[in-house]
Amino acid sequence: MTCNQRESVGIMTKPKVGIIGLGAIGFEMLKEFHANPDVEIGAVCDANGERARQVAHEFNIPAAYTAYADLLADPAIESVYIGVPPVYHCEIAVAAFAANKHVLCEKPLANSVGETVQMVEAAGKAGKIHAMNFPLNYTTPVREFARLVDEGYLGELRRVEITLQFPDWPRAWQQNDWIGKREQGGFVRETAPHLLQMIQRVFKELPELQYKHTEYPDDPELCERGIVAHFQMKNGALVILRGGSHTAGEQKVELMAFGTKGVLALTNWDDLYGAQGSEPMTLLTSGGEYAQELISQFAAAMRGEPAELYDFTVGHQVQQLLEELLD
C-alpha cells in the first residue's frame, strides 16, 4: 500500500463525532477532538443555538444544532460526546443509543442511580461503545501511581485520605447556574467521582461507606458546604474523605494512600508525590494532559480495536457511592 493510499483509507475511516454541550468542559473537549487525528467533528449542538453556530463557524464544522435530537438524526454522525449538565446525561445518552450512536459521556454518569441503571441497560441493548470521561485514568501521574501500587511501593494499604478543599465554590473557571445548586451541583458531585473511580482503578475495588456527615447551608436550593465520610476497603483499610467550601485556605484536591512501606499522594490532580518509610515526600512526576489519549482510545474502540475505556458500568458503580454520600 502506498503512503497516499494509506492516507486516503485513514481519511475514509475517520469516525465522525457530534459534540453535545459547548460550555466550560464541552468547549475544551471540542478543541481536543478538533486537534485529534483519529476523529472528525461532524456536528455540534448546544441549547444556546447562537453558541453552536458560532463554534461551528470558528472550527469549520459542517452542522450546528440547537436540539440534540436533530444531531442524533444526522446519519453522518457515528458517535457523540455528551458535555451537558448531569440532569440531561440520561435522556441524551438513551436517545443516542436508540439512534445507534456510540457515546462518550461526562462524569458523573447521571444525576441518580435510577438513571445510571437505565443508561447501562440502553448501552447494552444497543451494543454500542459507552465510555466515561474520567480523565485521571489517562494522566502520567495516575498511571504511575497505579504502576507503583502494583509493584508493591506501598506495601499493605492501611489508609487513604481524600481532601476536597475549595475556598470558592463555584470555581472561577466553571461559573454556571447549576454547579452551586443542590439538585445537580456541589463540590462532592463534581469532584469526588474522579477520586472514587481512581481508588477503584488503582486498588481494584470501591470502598464501602460506613459513616458520613454532610453539612448544607440553610437555603435548600444550595449545595453542600462540608463533608466528612469514612469508608472501608476489603482488607480493613480506612478511607477518609473530608472537604468543604467557603472557608479560608488554599484550594486543595488530594488523594493520599498510606501503606506499611510507602506513601503516595496525587495532589491537585497533576502532581504525584511519594516516599518510602519515613523519608520526606518528593515529587515523582507531574502532568495533567489526558484528552488526546482518551479520544484516541475512543476512536480505537470505534475501529473495533482494543482500547482502554472506562465504561458506563464503572460510571454506575461510582454513582452508587456518590448518591450514598449525598442522600
Ligand X SMILES: NC(=O)c1ccc[n+]([C@@H]2O[C@H](COP(=O)([O-])OP(=O)(O)OC[C@H]3O[C@@H](n4cnc5c(N)ncnc54)[C@H](O)[C@@H]3O)[C@@H](O)[C@H]2O)c1
Residues that bind ligand X (CB under 6 A): 20-26, 45-48, 68, 83-86, 88, 106-107, 133, 135, 174, 176, 190
Under a CB-based contact definition with an 8 Å cutoff, are residues 43 and 70 in contact? no
User: What are the backbone angles phi and psi of residue 56, rounded to the nearest 5°?
Assistant: -60, -40
Q: What's the min distance (Å) between Cβ of 62 and ligand X? A: 18
Q: Return the half-sphere exposure (C-beta side, CA atoms, 13 A cut-off) of residue 314.
A: 25
Q: What's the min distance (Å) between Cβ of 126 and ligand X? A: 20
- For the record, the C-alpha cell of 148 comes out as 507503583
Residue of 86, 94, 40 lying closest to 68 (CA atoms): 94
Q: What's the min distance (Å) between Cβ of 274 and ligand X? A: 24
Q: What's the min distance (Å) between Cβ of 307 and ligand X? A: 18
Q: In terms of C-beta density within 10 A (0-12 exposed, 13-18 middle, 19 or more buried), how is residue 156 classed?
A: exposed
Q: What's the min distance (Å) between Cβ of 6 and ligand X? A: 34
Taking CB atoms, the residue at the shortest distance from ligand X is 23
Rounded distance between C-alpha atoms, residue 258 and residue 244, angstroms: 22
CB burial readout 49-61, b (16+ within 10 A) else e: eebbbebbeeeeb
Amino acid (one-letter) located at 248: A
Q: What's the min distance (Å) between Cβ of 99 and ligand X? A: 14
Residue (45 or 195) nearer to ligand X, CB:
45
User: What are the backbone angles phi and psi of residue 186, rounded to the nearest 5°?
Assistant: 100, 150
Residue (274 or 315) nearer to ligand X, CB:
315
